[in-house]
Amino acid sequence: AAGVIQSPRHLIKEKRETATLKCYPIPRHDTVYWYQQGPGQDPQFLISFYEKMQSDKGSIPDRFSAQQFSDYHSELNMSSLELGDSALYFCASSLKGGNTIYFGEGSWLTVV
Amino acid sequence: EDQVTQSPEALRLQEGESSSLNCSYTVSGLRGLFWYRQDPGKGPEFLFTLYSAGEEKEKERLKATLTKKESFLHITAPKPEDSATYLCAVQADSSYKLIFGSGTRLLVRP
């Protein structure tokens, strides 16, 4: 079965640079969620989209922005990167109602 | 404030030694309680969603139960391949986002 696809899987950026993460949800899923997981921590909710509109917002820094496109894929844009942004970023998807939420394998971001 | 607490933080079992993981929650109104398994460096793998007190769901050696204040993940006769971090999360009826607990790291020794 098709799963949530994230790219890139790994990226290394320098401080103050910009990074973009991409997420392709499971086919027919219309809701996308972004989470950040630091080393040894539980996933923290950043933002979600339903039908290309932002549906919920969590602890997402102002330096980060995200959007969902007409084909339902989503991109998380991170600017002015800081060392503390180094983490595993997960995308998840579901149908509206969120009864079953599936996660991708994550994108490892290392800021040096 | 919606909150999820999992215990124990870590659990070591011998192969075949059954046990339970606990997830206590406070939420304004529960839409659903989710259990995930996470291997190191991997994305959380969906296991169960429970919706109302008294509900139970099973998958292989795992059984999840739900009360009004907590959920249990029972592991029967675990195998080494069950070693992972098990995450509990709640979804409030005011939102679709998941609020995670800190997880229980399970190690099953052969």
CB contacts, 8 Å: B92 with chain A: none
Chain A contact for B7 (CB, 8 A cutoff)? no
Structure tokens at B81: 């391949």
CB contacts, 8 Å: B87 with chain A: 42-43
The answer, yes or no, to whether residue B65 has pLDDT greater than 70, is yes
The answer, yes or no, to whether residue A1 has pLDDT greater than 90, is no
Measured CA to CA, the distance from residue A105 to residue A66 in angstroms comes to 19
The answer, yes or no, to whether residue B95 has pLDDT greater than 90, is no
pLDDT band at A96 (very low <50, low <70, confident <90, very high): confident
Chain A contact for B44 (CB, 8 A cutoff)? yes
B25-29 contacts at long range (C-beta below 8 A, 24 or more positions apart) = B25/B69, B25/B70, B25/B71, B25/B88, B25/B90, B25/B101, B26/B1, B26/B2, B26/B69, B27/B2, B27/B3, B27/B90, B27/B92, B27/B99, B28/B2, B28/B92, B28/B93, B28/B94, B29/B92, B29/B93, B29/B94
Residue range B4-18, pLDDT digits in tens: 999 999 999 999 999
pLDDT at residue number B91: 93
Chain B contact for A95 (CB, 8 A cutoff)? no
Lowest mean pLDDT among A54-68, A89-103, B40-54, B82-96: A89-103
pLDDT at residue number A34: 97
Cβ-defined contact of B96 to A97 (cutoff 8 Å): yes
Share of chain A above pLDDT 70, in %: 99
Exposed, middle or buried, A59 (CB in 10 Å: 0-12/13-18/19+)?
exposed
Give the residues across from B33 on adjacent strands.
Answer: B50, B90
Residue numbers of B between 57 and 96 with CB closer than 8 Å to A: 87, 91, 95-96
Residue range B22-47, pLDDT digits in tens: 999 999 899 999 999 999 989 999 99
Measured CA to CA, the distance from residue A74 to residue B110 in angstroms comes to 42
- Average pLDDT, integer, range A62-76: 96
Residue range A11-43, pLDDT digits in tens: 999 999 999 999 999 999 999 999 999 988 989
Residue numbers of A between 44 and 83 with CB closer than 8 Å to B: 44-45, 48, 50, 55-56, 58
